[in-house]
Structure 1
Amino acid sequence: MKRVLLVDDQNIVLQGVAALLSVSPELEVVAALDSGEACIDWLDSGERADVILLDMHMPGIKGLDTLKQIRNIADIPVLFLTTFDDAYLRQQSAEHGARGLLHKNVGLEELVSSVLKVANGGSLLAEKGKDTLGAITPREDEIAKALVEGKTNKEIASAQNLSPGTVRNYISNLFSKLGVRNRSEAVVKLKKLGLF
């Protein structure tokens, strides 16, 4: 039987997913925690699971930051639960070592099979292949973070040791990859995805 740790700030999601997973005789929910901090504390206490279902967007420590901390404690595969699913989010998940991204409206059969696959060493991200969008570069990722922080092009250029024109080019590429038209839409989307 595979041990599953659930982490989501919404109680109804925790209860619902736990109830769905209990249908499978191959899965056991060993804990249902409401924050990234609680997850890290649970792992720090020596507890372990075969797979972690982790909410991407939570108050306090965000999903990606929780994943980074999990990596420092234990080698447990992580499957993100999210309300959103797009190329940028999928790429960020993969780059930080997640094994998959599941939409919260997933059906029972797909939920159970996905959790079992990841618990057994598989990955859901590999099945999706390359996203149609170009990969976000590390520099674009830094610029995305700066946009969310409200920095101007001039401030970004200074911090990244780039010319303002080069920063504008990076921002234009980032908008294209995010599917947005301007800085405001980019910030809204990045915040909605819970990445920064």
Structure 2
Amino acid sequence: MADPRIIRVLIVDDQQLARFGHSLVLRSADDIEVAGEAADGPSAVSLALELRPDVVLMDVRMPRMSGIEATAQITRGSPGTSVIVMTSFDLDRYAFGALDAGASAFLLKSTGPDELLAAVRTVAGGDAVVEPRITRKLIEHYTAGELGRPVRAPRPSELESLSPREYDVLLSIAEGMTNTEIAAHHHLSPATVKSHVNRLFSKLGLRDRVQAVILAHRLGLTRDS
């Protein structure tokens, strides 16, 4: 039986050198295991559904099937698997599309080893990651209507249904905080924060943290809206 404390990761990239580099970084951590590697989208989907890894490192541009479609198929077929999209460009439309497909994180391939390991651990714990320097561009793309990802404006009664703590958590998400950071900031346990996040998502009809960020900015709830 697999050790539940070990995070199992599937590496997907059409470049062998990139796969080798990611593997070296991941294998340096005691709590992370490389479950497999794939060089294209169809192989990634097949392996993900077979191995059921905790996390997939997904190259967004690949032959035969894009990282977007592969991400969509994996998140539909293996809901317990989180996907981290890796791209070379911070304005990569394909990467934004992968977030629409259900990815939990968007990182640049230039991300350092420590940041990559932290991202793997974060998404494996049920959180999401978007690099701070990407957040503004992400919001601009979606609020400009360029890439879909509709976010329904909540009715006043829905916003009013949020408890003061849930409202505070929404603002913290909009500032780019992870659950761990929110817990520390508000002096709460991570489990309590996760409960608040789930409840506010349900009340506001939000699918994920990216939608929460977009909504908060549209409603002018953040400092830089």
Q: For the superposition of Structure 1 and Structure 2, which TM-score range results when normalised by the shorter chain?
A: 0.5 to 0.7
2:61 to 47, 57, 60: 57
CA distance in 1, matches of 2:130, 2:102: 10
* Superposed counterparts of 1:27-176, under 5 Å: 27-45=32-50, 47-75=51-79, 76-86=81-91, 88-89=93-94, 91-125=96-130, 128=135, 131=138, 133-135=140-142
Normalised by the size of structure 1, how large is the TM-score? 0.64
Aligned residue-pair number? 140
- Aligned residues: percent identity? 27
Structure 2 match to 1:151: none
CA distance in 1, matches of 2:114, 2:25: 9
Structure 1: runs of 5 or more not aligned: 142-196
Residue type of the alignment partner of 2:109: K
In structure 2, relative to structure 1, the CA distance for the partners of 1:107 and 1:125 (3 Å cut) is closer
Normalised by the size of structure 2, how large is the TM-score? 0.56
Structure 2 match to 1:22: 27
CA distance in 2, matches of 1:104, 1:24: 19
Structure 2: runs of 5 or more not aligned: 1-5, 149-225
Task: For residues 33-69 of structure 1, give each alpha carbon's deviation from its aligned partner in whole angstroms, at most 9, with x where no partner exists.
Answer: 1111111222343x21111100000011000010111
Q: Contact 1:8/1:58 (CA < 8 Å) preserved in 2?
A: yes
Higher relative contact order (CA 8 A, sep 6+): 1
Aligned-residue CA RMSD (Å): 2.4
Residue type of the alignment partner of 2:140: L
Q: Contact 2:60/2:95 (CA < 8 Å) preserved in 1?
A: no
CA distance in 1, matches of 2:49, 2:138: 35
